[in-house]
Structure 1
């Protein structure tokens, strides 16, 4: 769920710096893993398979199949990051994507349950990914996403939102948190290796300390904002020092003026204490702002020849667009490149459909032109 993607990274970095952030990178000469001037190898989108909050927005196999065809035929993506929880949903979606000829980045993200359950969920998903790989599908496995956020016991807090609050307040033992994070990351990598023989990765927050020797691909959820392109390049280059391919496992923003400058906190404009939830303040909707941010970052990734980039994300059914009711237009706080619209806006059981945002069309033009250039 996008409202948990990207806490205040400045708070997190403050704690990480105290531990010596330079330890993130291996000693010795930097080895560039990009392919400058040659463009991205894989261009895609994140597709979340978790259950919705109401029966009307719950996972639907028929809807998933239609969505993936739109990913391939309309968005012109060649890669889909299949993420979320529920082994049956994950595997059904991965199989459909593979059948459509898409490259599959399978990333199970079960959270807020005991470690043993999370690792078993990973193992089951990984075994299926290995079967797909042996059958000739193009597939990679990510062992998870931002473990400190989703795995209980690393950061204090009974759930994701409590952990975010503790991190933002600085009420954590940074050194202890890092040891716990390292321990679980190593466990997850070991499980992934035991069941999957293809490329292995992990989706880290951009200021996380990760031992990338455990993985074949460096994966970063990237939400920075700079005025100058060179600043993005300078920041991203530090992840190339491992001499491994760099995948941007998430990048995106919300569709309102000023959202990119929030650096991943764009979701924090909703008052969930209200029933129904309300938009705080008076943000000005702008799909153009969202589209420009995505294409600007995509240009940076292309220029650096990174391995892959997956826009976050395709659709969030539980954040419907309310064009006639800005106070309840939850799509404003969503990172999706489509806007869900209910047939009956005030009815929780109403059917719904999505329509493309400007960001969808902008990415489709870029993805389509790169695909055409390689035919």
Structure 2
């Protein structure tokens, strides 16, 4: 496994900014921890704001990490999305010239869901509702291929490094357009027995295959209850919490009754890595390093971190003990992934 990575979110935006506060000094410190303690040699930097992406990418490159520069303007139409992607590619090219051979550009993430107009539905929630019937009917195939053809053409005009696309496993991508084959691929009960099959099929393209997202949430049953993709945070209380003034009176909470299980998350990630390594992938990016809005609470009703994919748990107040300068603490999964990556790096 050549690339041992983690996804690092600098501010994905869907129902609010997933990283409300962006402090360059904190970002650099976290990237240093990712390199030194999580034992990564690559980081996929995701988010909407191009300045944030650039600041984080430059810090990671200076730390000798390989960077996957991944702009994500979710829930806009193809024209607006492509204009944003090309602007980001221009910024990435400036970094690539200073750090050659260490920057990969991703033109999009799961476009069938996140680019408006590929399947029916103006909002993300509506597209989720329409998802299965639209995909089964093949309505997504032509617009997706058109979008990706335009994206690769326009990006290659301004960016001279390798490009990729973070695909859903079923998306009919023309991988001849890309330098690296990439899929977001999560393992749960429904695909347990055939998890490696899509990876093996993609190896037939003769290009490096990388799993750009895989992960597990942090509660008992997360691997089999069907909520791995959407989580268990109550969307109503989460949305109300974001309202000015009034929102401070609303505490986001978890749907239903769940039991925290850090060991499950750790074990499943170690299993993922073993399966993918055996299948012959060039690398993986565990999703995700941190989720600042999914704060940990001793009361399970409000322990949003149970529903998080993150390797660290964020505190609403106070600081961690492992890293007293950070507002989070590593979970069991952090240490488990670090040990796997250490073994892969040393060949032990």
Q: How does 1:243-254 map to 2 (within 5 A)?
A: 243-254=206-217
CA shift at 1:76, angstroms? 0.9
2-structure distance, mates of 1:124, 1:228? 37
Q: 1:330 aligns with which of 285, 297, 304?
A: 304
Unaligned runs of 5+ in 1: 1-39, 346-350
Q: Give CA deviations for 1:235-276 in whole Å, capped at 9, x if unaligned.
A: 421111222110000000101112123466354322222343
- Structure 2: stretches of 5+ with no match in the other structure: 238-249, 320-324
- Structure 1 segment 39-54 matched on structure 2, within 5 A: 40-50=1-11, 53=16
Change over 3 Å in CA distance of 1:121–1:158 after alignment to 2: same
**Equivalent in 146, 151, 156 of residue 193 of structure 1:** 156
Distance 1:80 1:56, change over 3 A: closer
Q: Tell me the CA shift for residue 107 of structure 1.
A: 1.0
Q: For 2:11 and 2:166, locate their aligned partners in 1 and report how far apart those are by CA, in whole Å.
A: 17
Secondary structure of the equivalent of 2:296? coil
Deviations 1:315-371 (A, max 9, x none): 110110112x111111111111111011179xxxxx981110111000111112222
Higher relative contact order (CA 8 A, sep 6+): 1
Answer yes or no: is 1:261 the counterpart of 2:235.
no
Is the contact between residue 213 and residue 286 of structure 2 (CA under 8 Å) also seen in structure 1? yes
1:229, 1:300 within 8 Å by CA — same for their partners in 2? no
> How many aligned residue pairs are there?
328
73, 76, 83: which one aligns with 1:120: 83
Distance 2:126 2:270 in 1: 33
The CA distance in 1 between the partners of 2:229 and 2:306, in whole Å, is: 9
- Of the three residues 359, 365, 373, the one matched with 2:333 is 359
**SS of the residue 1:210 aligns to:** coil
Match of 2:44 among 74, 81, 86: 81
Match of 2:244?
none
**Residues 254 and 301 of structure 2 are in contact (CA less than 8 Å); yes or no, is this contact kept in structure 1?**
yes
Query: Matched residues in 1 for 2:286 and 2:74: separation?
Result: 22
**1:151-170 matched pairs, under 5 angstroms:** 151-167=115-131, 170=133
Counterparts of 2:98 and 2:311, CA distance in 1: 32
Between the aligned partners of 2:225 and 2:96, the Cα distance in structure 1 is 39
Moved over 6 A (4+): 227-230
Q: Does 1:144 align with 2:118?
A: no
**Is the CA contact (8 Å cut-off) linking 1:94 and 1:104 kept in structure 2?**
yes
Q: 1:223 aligns with which of 161, 170, 186?
A: 186
Counterpart secondary structure, 2:216:
coil
Q: Which residue of 1 aligns with 2:247?
A: none
- Per-residue CA deviations over 1:22-74 (Å, capped at 9, x if unaligned) read xxxxxxxxxxxxxxxxxx01000000111785899422212211111111111
Match of 1:197, SS state, is coil
Q: CA deviation at 1:229?
A: 8.1
TM value normalised by structure 1 = 0.81
Q: Is the 8 A contact 1:254 1:290 kept in 2?
A: yes
Q: Deviations over 1:299-329 (max 9, x none)?
A: 1222233111000001110110112x11111
Partner of 1:180: 143
CA RMSD in angstroms, aligned pairs only: 2.6
Contact 2:314–2:327 (CA<8 Å) still a contact in 1?
A: yes
